[in-house]
Amino acid sequence: MKNTLIIIGIILVFLILYFLQINFFNWFTIGGISPNLFVILLLFIGLFAGKRVAIPLGLVLGICLDFFISKKIGISGIMLGTVGALGGFLDKNFSKDSRMTIILMTVAVTFIYELGAYLLNYFIVSTTIEIIPFIKIVLIEILYNVILVIIFYPLLQKAGYYIEEAFREKKILTRYF
Amino acid sequence: MYKKKTGIVGIIITIIILIVLVFISNMNLENLSYIENLVSTIVMPVQNGLTYLKNKITGNHTFFEDINRLQQENEELKNKNAELEKNLREFEIVKNENETLKEYLNLSEQYGNYKTKPAYIINKDFSNYNNVFVINVGKNDGIEPNMTVISEKGLVGYIISTTDTTSKVQTIIDTASTVSATLSSSKDNLICKGTIEESGVLKASYIPTTATLVQGDKVETSGMGGIYPKGIYIGTIKRVVSTKNIVDRYAIIEPAVDFDKVDTVLVITK
């Protein structure tokens, strides 16, 4: 029951972030570049709830985004699912208590997401590859995401541990008993 | 004897009074003004005081009357003001509607040869290198994929997918977009593609080696490619970038449409 409520909560947060991303961050940009709030959300879900929750959520939420606005269905789904998986992987190998580690994770995951999405766009909808402008855009986006993570880290960590407590209980029991 | 004397005195007094009356009635009255002045000097201060007192009392009475009247007037003015404010708000709404309709009318007149459907942009892609938006008309309004979308100023893009009530539009500045174009002056053909190198512009390539491109030249659709009809204004040449090999030179085109501000479009349905 608690897990279901948390999932509903995450979907509500996703909707809030969607409207923020579409409206507020459409003009609140750095050099015309907006952050990617969904990458941050899925990274934290992966880190705190594990990849079993983050991958399906990433896929479903990403496909929803594709339905809402994207050119082709599936690109955001695949990439957000990947971000969820990466979050779960990073949780096993790195500490999420350090702010610096979280920042580095954000940098890596944002880069992987954007690179993957760009390449998928290239193969699926035949976009032109422009490496230097793309790197410029991604660097600014990474910077923006990092700033947001630094600002909201205490809140994200608090919410993250609450989610972790709910989703990891069963795992601990199966491991030790 | 006594009665006889009294009768004579009475007759004499009456004659004297008559003589005085005749005398006074025949006198010039101006000669009596000093008497009038004297009377005025005595009477007027009293009269003035009484008049002031009277005016004061009458004035207070009108003062109370004025308060009532002003209150009533104030109430009426307040009501009138509220009504005017309401009218003003209605006027603003009508004005906005009028502007939107004018915009639609201008668009329809400008592209009178085409059958069009007006639409509002309701959503925009948040990606930093894609440029897609959603409009509020769909299959129910007769919209189908590959229909051309224009605005008052020029070409916007084309429909890539539709639902019953909405449609997705891929703009000409999207990196996946390619438009076959022609120069208005020389009729040389170009290929315009969206680019992320510079925000909100198009990159024109495959420029014929013989073509002379000048900054400010107008670019419009060539009609080739099967999506965009011929002669729709795209924008103007912002600058020409020369390369070592003339075949590789390209031009940056400033689209006529400001994609950050556009909110009303027309879909060419026929």
Residues B114-270, CATH architecture: Beta Barrel (2.40)
Please state the rounded mean pLDDT for residues B209-236: 87
pLDDT attached to residue B61 = 58
Nearest Cα residue to A45 out of A2, A96, A94, A93 = A96
CB of A101 within 8 Å of a chain B CB? The answer is: no
The larger pLDDT score, comparing residue B163 to residue A169, is at: B163
**Across the interface, which of B128, B174, B197 has its CB nearest the CB of A33?**
B128
- The H or E element containing residue B187 is none
Hey, what's the torsion of the CAs at B111, B115, B120, B121, to 10 degrees? -80
What pLDDT sits at residue B47?
A: 66
Q: DSSP letter at A1?
A: -
- Among A50-64, B61-75, B247-261, the least confident range: B61-75
What gap in Å lies between CA A138 and CA B117, rounded to an integer? Answer: 38
B259 DSSP assignment: T
- Over residues A83-107, the pLDDT tens digits come to 999 998 888 888 878 888 999 999 9
Residues in B touching A128 (Cβ below 8 Å): 175, 193-195
Q: What is the distance of C-alpha B130 from the center of its chain?
A: 36
Instruction: Report the distance separating Cα A134 and Cα B85, nearest Å.
Output: 53
Between the CA of residue A86 and those of A42, A121, B156, what are the distances in Å? Answer: 9, 21, 38
Nearest residue to B156 (alpha-carbon basis) of B256, B27, B26, B76: B256
CB B121 within 8 Å of CB B259: no
CA distances to B58, B70, B172, B244, B246 from B198, rounded to whole Å, are 83, 66, 14, 22, 22
Chain B residue with Cα closest to A140: B128
Q: Running DSSP on this structure, what letter comes out for residue B229?
A: P
Distance from C-alpha of A120 to C-alpha of A73, rounded to nearest angstrom: 11
Interface contact flag, A32 B170, Cβ < 8 Å = no
Rounded to a whole number, what is the distance in angstroms from the first to the last CA of chain B? 145
- A14 touching B (Cβ < 8 Å): no
> Scanning the structure block, which residue is given the tokens 């507020």?
A24
Determine the pLDDT at residue B129: 82
B166 to chain A: nearest residue by CA? A68
User: Cβ of A13: how many Cβ atoms within 10 Å?
Assistant: 14
Q: How far is residue B149's CA from residue B258's CA, in Å, rounded to a whole number?
A: 14
Average pLDDT, chain A: 87
Residues forming beta bridges with residue B169, ordered by sequence position: B133, B159
Domains, chain A, ordered by start: 2-176 (1.10.1760.20)
| Residues B131 and B244 sit within 8 Å (Cβ to Cβ) | no
Mean pLDDT for chain B overall:
82
Shortest CA distance from B177: residue in chain A: A127
Q: B126, A21: Cβ pair inside 8 Å? A: yes
Show me where the domains of chain B are located.
27-110, 114-270
**Residue-wise pLDDT tens digits, A114-163:** 999 999 988 888 788 889 999 999 999 999 999 999 999 888 888 888 88
Among candidate residues A128, A122, A83, the one with its CA nearest the CA of residue A106: A83
Q: Write the pLDDT tens digit of every residue in B127-141.
A: 888 889 999 898 998
